[in-house]
Chains A and B, each alone.
Chain A
Amino acid sequence: AQKITQTQPGMFVQEKEAVTLDCTYDTSDQSYGLFWYKQPSSGEMIFLIYQGSYDEQNATEGRYSLNFQKARKSANLVISASQLGDSAMYFCAMRDQAGTALIFGKGTTLSVSS
């Protein structure tokens, strides 16, 4: 069975600093996709970044980058130059080979202070 593990319940960072949110996964599939979502207090799920299991380069989207280490089964999210608006809950998720539902980790609450 697939599993996503986020071991950091909460992270604190100052504005303009970089922060890494950890995510490890477990799957027996060869083809899979890894996602990061941001959920502010309003509850909406905001897609941040995607990494396919066959992608050789780490995905980047603006200030977000995904540190993909396939052998370690980790897909950490790096946010550079944190902003106050980055304060939210962050979820790592996986899509299985069938391309169906996303399985989510428990999430990490990020707090950015000035």
Chain B
Amino acid sequence: GAVVSQHPSWVICKSGTSVKIECRSLDFQATTMFWYRQFPKQSLMLMATSNEGSKATYEQGVEKDKFLINHASLTLSTLTVTSAHPEDSSFYICSAKGLLSYNEQFFGPGTRLTVL
């Protein structure tokens, strides 16, 4: 199957700093990328959908000014958590969907963010 990478795999930062998480499709062009958030032992909650070259669509309750998403190319989307606080500590997972992959989404390995 197609490969999606995330970087970094884990990050620890101080409260008030910003953190950028990258999601890359390595062997296919991702027309759409999705960002999910998962708290321990809970489900994946969709945060936003991003299409290459256009603004991300955020789910209700997700602050777009806090979680900045950029999908500048067909292989890269970034999620920036601005002015991070301890409550932003979570597991962030991206998934990518190619033009021809109607059924399949390919998940990255996730990024564990800890804000001190």
Contacts and interface: CB of A to CB of B under 8 A. Distances in A.
Nearest to B111: A43
A101 B46 contact: yes
Contacts of A48: none
Interface residues of B, number: 21
A37 B104 CA distance: 12
A101 B49 contact: yes
B107 to A, nearest CB: 4
Interface string B28-66: 000010100000011111100100000000000000000
B21 interface: no
A47 interface: yes
Nearest to A4: B43
Contact of B103 (A45, A91, A95, A104): A95
A50 B104 CA distance: 9
Contacts of B95: 45, 102
B9 to A, nearest CB: 9
B110 A100 contact: no
